[in-house]
Amino acid sequence: MAKNVPKERKIGMYKAILELETLDECCDFFEDICAITELRSMEQRFEVARMLYDDNVYTEIMQKTSASSATISRVNRMLNYGT
């Protein structure tokens, strides 16, 4: 997918997310717009980020999440240098 998504399309999606009011609405929304593999990947990366934030080491994160060292490294880089 192109990196330069038109701003109005990108902002529109985030505005829609902000309008969700319940956990069920949120789950339904993401299940409607994402493939199951995309959801599982985001869930895994979120768990990796949480574990990195809690100072877990890569080997422990790999064992508990089944994430590759490349995924853990990518998430770690975003935690340290992303927005």
CB of 54 closer than 8 Å to CB of 65: no
| CATH number of the domain residue 52 falls in | 1.10.1270.10
Task: Report the sign of the C-alpha dihedral through residues 65, 59, 76, 49, in that order.
Answer: positive
Are both 47 and 83 inside the same structural domain? yes
What is the number of domains present in the chain? Answer: 2
pTM over 0.85: no
Are both 24 and 47 inside the same structural domain? no
- As a whole number of Å, the end-to-end CA separation of the chain is 20
Task: Report the sign of the C-alpha dihedral through residues 53, 57, 58, 61, in that order.
Answer: negative
Are both 77 and 39 inside the same structural domain? yes
Q: What is the mean pLDDT of each run of 10 residues along the chain (83 residues)?
A: 72 94 97 96 97 97 97 96 85
Tokens representing residue 21 in the block: 């009011």
Are both 29 and 40 inside the same structural domain? no
Give the pLDDT score at 4: 72
